[in-house]
Structures are given as structure tokens and as C-alpha cells.
Amino acid sequence: MGLAMRGDIRDINSGKNAGTPDSGMPRRLAAIVAGDIAGYSRLMQLDEEGTHARVKRLERELIEPTIREHHGRLIKTTGDGFIAVFDSPVEAVRCSIVIQQNMIGRNTTQAKVQWIEYRIGVNLGDVIIETDDVFGEGVNVAARLEGLADPGEVFISGGIYEQIKHKIVCGYESLGDRKVKNITDPVRVYRVLPDPSAFKRRRTQKQGLAIVSLSLVVLVLAGGVLWYLTMQTRGPVARTASTSTPNAPRTDASRNGKSTVAKATDAKIRSAPVSEPAGQQQAKTPVAPIVPPATVAPAIAPAIVPQPVAPPLREPEMVPLPGGSFAMGSNEDASERPVHQVTVKRFAIGKYPASIREWNLCAAAKACGFTATGPDDAPVGNISWSDAKQFAAWLAETTGKPYRLPTEAEWEYAARGGTQTRFWWGDQLQPGAAHCKNCTQVANNEPPNKVGGFKPNPFGLYDMGGTVDQWVEDCFHRNYQGAPTDGTAWLEDGCTSHVLRSGSWRNDARYVRPSNRDGYDTNVRYPTHGFRIALTL
Amino acid sequence: MTITRRRLLQVGLLTLPGVAFAKGKPAPKEALLYIVWPQDGAVIKGAFWCRFGLRNMGVTHAGDNFQNSGHHHLLIDVDEPLNPDEPIPQDKSHLHFGAGQTEARIELPPGKHTLQLVLGDADHFPFVPPVISKKITVRIK
């Protein structure tokens, strides 16, 4: 009270805000994840450079992307750990579980001494977040929780537990209130177990151990009594025996109880075969070469493909389309409802899906993630949405033209080619009209070896249905409830899946319909996924 | 014990056609894939969270080539056997979880449905031997 008044008075006097220095840094509630590597200094002693490289790689390949995927923010990494903040406690804990589960797999390729095991603590707290650091008691508690956790485990505070207990089906084991260093109030601590049955297993194990130790006590006592009765002269010895032995199993039991999870993990990893050395994995490029199902692409292909000086760019063949209005969607699948009227502006769209030749120009310019293998005229596959975006950005930059991905509405408008029927050619499947599974009398489950192998639609566009799935700009939504009607892309920040259109050679005729739609993880590649470029006119 | 036997049976059934051409990565024998929730025979009202359980292997992103780890695929009402020579299909009955998801919100029309998990490697191929869960049946009210 006194302080506030002094502040007020000073305000009046100086005419300036004399408030606390952190008035420009708003506090906010956040879920804080603190992780660190158990036995980091031991690992560093074993192999300083190797450990450093492995940890950096883990951060790049696992920690950072996983945090991003769960809508969190990596605040900082220290030598052996990291701190991240999340708006959602659920996402924070999910992210922690994903990291721990992933580490199990990674460690199986290493000898036990080489294992990198994270301990993770998650706390909900009111904190001050700066660009490269985060402050507040909430952070300290997260760090202490992490310190309490055994390697490979996630410990959460009571605050987090209350938020997530009904939302993430995991086992939660209460470890009671713990006093943590430099924090006044005790913190309620829970151990996260990967699934509820693990919790039951732990419980029964504990009960089992209790029964065993109890029967041991009884046995030892009975033995002691027998001993005493038969060899009365040596009574005192028997008495010490019967009082000291019961302690041993009891401490054992409690220690076992505490580390069951770690042990279970140990068992998993130990039983897995240890083979491929770490160095080999390092050598592998993170980008997978295109692997059409029928061919075996050598893993080293991207490395040995010659990278010639980029020839003058031949732009993709584009078809300009007039703007127009059409009924988007259908009643055939829940994802395509409700049917709604959409108006699109004029734009141009690729006559064909992007080909391997086109893609590899971008790859040669080092603007796209990998070099595709296969016939030059084949549609490029194994493309993630992010890959497709990279291509569009490169094409736009190189040509100075507004190349981009089509919006979902534009794609359907173009695919319908002015028709409102089930397929662009009518309501019935026509043999040989599109490249899809079981769409022709002849079984043809081979991947397409060229684009434009089938009849074009009324707009003169090829492969608008079948051949390859095609990414569009929009975030995936389960249906059209709330979709825009002006032909623009339906976006939101940080969406993790985007829309695929067209169906592929591996999907049946239902997927070839122009209204068919599906969603797929934004950053994941799959052999049948390609794209088609668009251009703003 | 029953779990092992069931798995062996499934593995047997799955690997019968074309085992020689399988392209997937090797999986440890003791890998166990299972559906944590719902339980076999469950009657469910509306949409539900399906939880994926995996023991003795790790979950990773699709595209990550780490030994003994893969990503989940949920097969809904799929009767045809998996082809070990091809990537696990991607369509409305083969849902992919390449971002390392360990659960999914599932919405199905009323009636009986089957659910089954298959673990895929970095390139979406089933492992060798396939790491596949028991197929469960649920009824949506």
C-alpha cells in the first residue's frame, strides 16, 4: 500500500511512469517444459565432440520440431537441456511424451553407456517471457521437477495435472507433496506413465512386492522363533537376525517401486538388438529420396546425382481460367458438406501436376529439399506441403511472377471444369478416364510414368483427379462449416495438416471425384503426394 | 502370453503372401503395438479419442530413419491384407500419424467398426515382421 502510494506520488512529480521496470514485460500463464540430459558430464567425458554433435542433432531433429508441432516455443537451449513454453498444458505434456518415446527408439542403436536420456519437468506458472529467456518461479519449479525425474521420465506439477488429467489418457502416479530447493511451498508431483495399464502394472507389482516382503518378515520371524526354541543358547543372535533382515526387502521394495518405469524402459532397450553405429545415421540425409513403390531408389541417390548449372528456366505450362461461381462440395462424404456457393477470381493453374523435371530444377537450384528420381515426365511424388510451398516460392522468386499453390476452392473449380456432376465427365465411372485403382479393366497399379496420360477435362487440364494427390494452400478442416466463399484459402496460424485433392493411382474411383478432399500432416512426405502450381493473374 | 500368441498368428497371416519381397525395415521380435483405448467390444457414443500403445519400439516422425522406431497408422474397417511390398495406403480408411501422434480424435458413423494399428517405417512401409495390433471392434451408438 505504502509502496503504491509512493509510486503514485513520484508519478505526479516526474510526470513519467515510475512503475516497476518490468511494466513493459507482461506476465502470462504458461506451461513450462524443462528438459535436461541425465549424466551429461559423464557423456562429455566419454566423447566431448561426439556428444556435443549428437545433442545438437537431437535438438535440431527432435526437440525443436516437436515443440513447434505442439504449438510451443523453444526459449533456449543450454549445453545439456532446453526450456520451452506452451500455451496449452495438454500440448506441453504431449510434446514431452513424444520426445521421451522418440528417445527410446534412438537409444536402441547405441551402447548403453552412450545413451542420451532426458529428464523432463512440466509446470504451470505465471512467468515473464522474453525473446531468449523466461523468468519466474514457475520456471524454477519446472527445473526442480526435471531434477526429481529419473532419466526417460516426465514429472508434472499438480497444476499441470489438474489441467490434463481428463484430457490425456496416461497413467499418473502421485508422488505426493515434495519440498523443492529454494521454493517455499511444497509442490505436488506426478509421474506421467505412458498408458494407464502401466499404472496398473506398477500397482500390482508394488502389491506383489509388499506381499513378498511381508511373507519374508513372517518367515524370518518364524525361523527366528524356531531357532530360539531349538538353540536356546544362541538366542541373542537369532533376535538380531529377525530384526535386521525385514529391513532389507522393504527398502528394496520402495526403491523398485520408484524406478519401475525407468526399469521397464531399460528392459525394452536392452532387449532390442544393437547394431547400426551412430556415425552411419549421421551420414544419412534427413530428406528421403523419392521412392515410387515399384522401384528401389538407392539411399545415396541424392548425393551422386550430378547438379548441373541450372539451364534457363522453362516455366510450367499454365492455363488461364476466367473467374466464376460454382457449388463447392457434395453430399457424398461428411468432409464435403455443406455444399456451398463459392466465387473465384480469374487465375491460372498448371496444365499438369508438377513433374520430376520441374521439381529437379528447383532441387538443382538448391531451393527444394531433395532431388527426385524417376522418369522426367512423371509427376513428382513424396512431396510434403512444405516442400510444395518451397517450390512455389522458388518459382515465384526466379520468375518474378506470383506463382503459388492453388486454393482449395480454385482447385475444385478447375477440376469441375464447369460441370456439377460426380466426375467431370458425368455421374458414372468411365474406364480409362483417370489413373486410379481398379478404374480400368486392366489392373494398373503401377505409378504413373508421365503427366497428362489421360483425357483433359473441359478446361483443358490433365490429371485433375487420380494420378497424384495434389496439395493446395488451405489448412485442413473436417468439413466446410465456416469455410470462406470468396475463393480464398482457409487458413489459420500454425495448422499442422493441409488439404490434399485429386486422389492418386493408389486410390479407388471415389477419390477421383472433384469434390473429394482429405487432410494430411503438413511436413510429412508420402509417395503418392504431389502438387500443381497456380498463378495469380 | 495370449498377446504373444495372437501377434504371432497375425504376423503369420500377414507375411504369407510375398514375404520375400518385403521392403520394410526390420522390427524387434518383442515389439508390441496395441490400442490403449477403446477396448475391444466397446460401445461408444459419438466421437472418441483413440490412443495408440507401443512397447519395445519408439515413435518418431515419418521420414526419420531411426532404427526400431516408426509412426502409427490406424486402419478403420479395413479387411484386405496389408501388402508388405507397398507403403501403407493413404486414404479415408488408412489414417496416417506421421507427425508422431500417439492418439487421434475419431468420428465414425453409427454401427460396428473395426480398428487396427500398423506401425510404418520412415517411408511408410510396414516393418518386417509387421508391427500390427490386434483388430478390435467397436460399436458407435
DSSP per position, A164-230 = HTTTS--EEEEEEEE--TT-SS-EEEEEEESSHHHHHHHHHHHHHHHHHHHHHHHHHHHHHHHHHHH
Residue A201 makes CB contacts below 8 A (sequence gap 6+) with: A260
Please give the residue that has the higher pLDDT: either A205 or A122.
A122
Within 8 A by CB and 6+ apart from A243, the residues are none
As a whole number, mean pLDDT of residues A122-132 equals 87
pLDDT band (50, 70, 90) for residue A24:
low
Helix (H, G, I), strand (E, B) or coil at A45: helix
Question: Confidence band (pLDDT; 50, 70, 90) for A297?
Answer: very low
C-alpha cell at B85: 511390398
> A464 vs A329, A350, A416, A453, A468, CA distance in Å?
15, 10, 8, 12, 9
pLDDT digits (tens, 9 = 90+) for A412-428: 999 999 999 999 999 99
Report the gap between the CA of A285 and the closest CA in chain B (Å).
9
Question: Testing the interface with A: which of B25, B61, B127 to mutate, by most A Cβ within 10 A?
Answer: B61
Question: Residue A397, Cα to own-chain centre: how many angstroms?
Answer: 30
> What residue has cell string 566419454?
A46
For residue A52, pLDDT beyond 60 = yes
**Most confident among A237-251, A368-382, B57-71 (mean pLDDT):** A368-382
DSSP track, A290-332 = P--TTS---TTHHHHS--PPPPPPPPPPEEEE--EEEEE--SS
With b for 16 or more beta-carbon neighbours within 10 A and e for fewer, the B101-127 pattern comes to bbbeebebeeeebebbbbbbbbbbbbb
- Looking at residue A80, its pLDDT comes to 87
CB contact under 8 A, B28 and A293: no
Instruction: Tell me: pLDDT of A300 over 50.
Output: no
Q: How far is the C-alpha of A72 from the C-alpha of A96, rounded, in Å? A: 11
Determine contact, residues A128/A27, Cβ cutoff 8 Å. Answer: yes
Sign of CA dihedral A181, A182, A185, A190: negative
Least confident of A35-44, A269-278, A395-404: A269-278
Q: Is the overall model pTM greater than 0.90, yes or no? A: no
* Predicted local distance difference test score (pLDDT) of residue B58: 87
Q: Which of A398, A536, A392 is nearest to A471 (CA)?
A: A392
Q: Whole-angstrom Cα distance, residue A18 to residue B34?
A: 61
A449 touches B: beta carbon within 8 Å:
no
pLDDT (0 to 100) of residue A443: 61
Name which of A105, A521, A529 is nearest B68 (Cβ-Cβ): A105
Check if the interface score ipTM surpasses 0.90: no
Return the residue of A nearest to B102 by Cα: A98
Read off the amino acid at residue A472.
V
Nearest CB partner across the interface for A288, out of B37, B63, B66: B63
pLDDT by residue (tens digit) across A61-72?
999 999 998 999
- Going edge to edge, which strands form the sheet with B32-37? B32-37, B48-55, B103-106
| Structure-block grid coordinates of residue A217 | 518378515
Percent of chain B with pLDDT over 70: 84
Contact assignment for B96 to A271 by CB distance below 8 Å: no
Q: Are B64 and A61 an interchain contact pair (Cβ–Cβ within 8 Å)?
A: yes
Among candidates A169, A276, A524 on the partner chain, residue whose Cβ is nearest the Cβ of B96: A524
Burial class (CB in 10 A: 0-12, 13-18, 19+), A498: buried
The interface residues of chain A toward chain B in range 293-332, judged by CB-CB distance below 8 A, are 293, 296
SS in 3 state form for B7-38?
HHHHHHHHHCCCHHHCCCCECCCCCEEEEEEC
A-B interface: how many C-beta pairs under 8 angstroms?
130
Give A413's contacts (C-beta < 8 A, 6+ positions apart).
A321, A324, A326, A328, A342, A344, A487
Residue B14 has pLDDT above 80, yes or no: no
Higher local confidence (pLDDT), A278 or A519: A519
Considering only residues A200 and A169, tell me which one the structure prediction assigns the higher pLDDT: A169
H-helix or E-strand spanning residue B104:
strand B103-106
Query: Bridge partners of A177?
Result: A188
CA–CA distance, A23 with A180 (Å, rounded to integer): 29
Closest-CA residue in chain A for B50? Answer: A169
Mean pLDDT, range A139-152, rounded to an integer = 91
Confidence band for A245, pLDDT divided at 50, 70 and 90: very low
- Residue B69's nearest CA partner among A267, A268, A169 is A268
Instruction: Please give the Cα distance from B11 to A139 (Å, whole number).
Output: 47
Q: Which residue of B lies nearest to A106 if distances are taken between CA atoms?
A: B66
State which residue of chain A sits closest to B60, comparing Cα positions: A102
Contacting B residues, span 79-138, partner chain A, CB-CB under 8 Å:
85-87, 89-92, 96-100, 102-103, 107, 122-124
Residue of higher predicted confidence among A293 and A486: A486
For chain A, positions 5-64, list CB contacts with chain B under 8 A: 61
How many residues in chain A?
A: 537
User: pLDDT, tens digit, for every residue of A189-227?
Assistant: 999 886 655 544 555 555 555 555 555 655 665 655 556
> Cell numbers 524406478 correspond to what residue?
A259
Question: Is the per-residue pLDDT at A108 higher than 60?
Answer: yes
Which pLDDT value is given to residue B18? 39
- Considering Cα of A515, then A516, then A521, then A524, what sign does the dihedral take? negative
Q: Are A191 and A148 in contact (CB under 8 A)?
A: no
| Beta bridge partners of residue A520, listed in sequence order | A498
Cα B141 from Cα B20, distance rounded (Å): 43
Q: Does A101 touch chain B (CB under 8 A)?
A: yes
Band of pLDDT at residue A294, cut at 50, 70 and 90:
very low
Closest CA to A436 of A370, A356, A502: A502
Question: In 3D, which of A467, A456, A472, A488 has the Cα closest to residue A531?
Answer: A472
| B55 and A CB contact within 8 Å | yes
Alpha-carbon torsion, ordered A207, A210, A215, A217, to 10 deg: -170
User: If you measure CA to CA, which chain A residue comes closest to B100?
Assistant: A98
Q: What are the chain B neighbours of A527 within 8 Å (beta carbons)?
A: 87, 123-124
Q: For A441-451, what is each residue's pLDDT tens digit?
A: 666 678 898 99
The answer to whether the Cβ–Cβ distance between A524 and B28 falls below 8 Å is: no
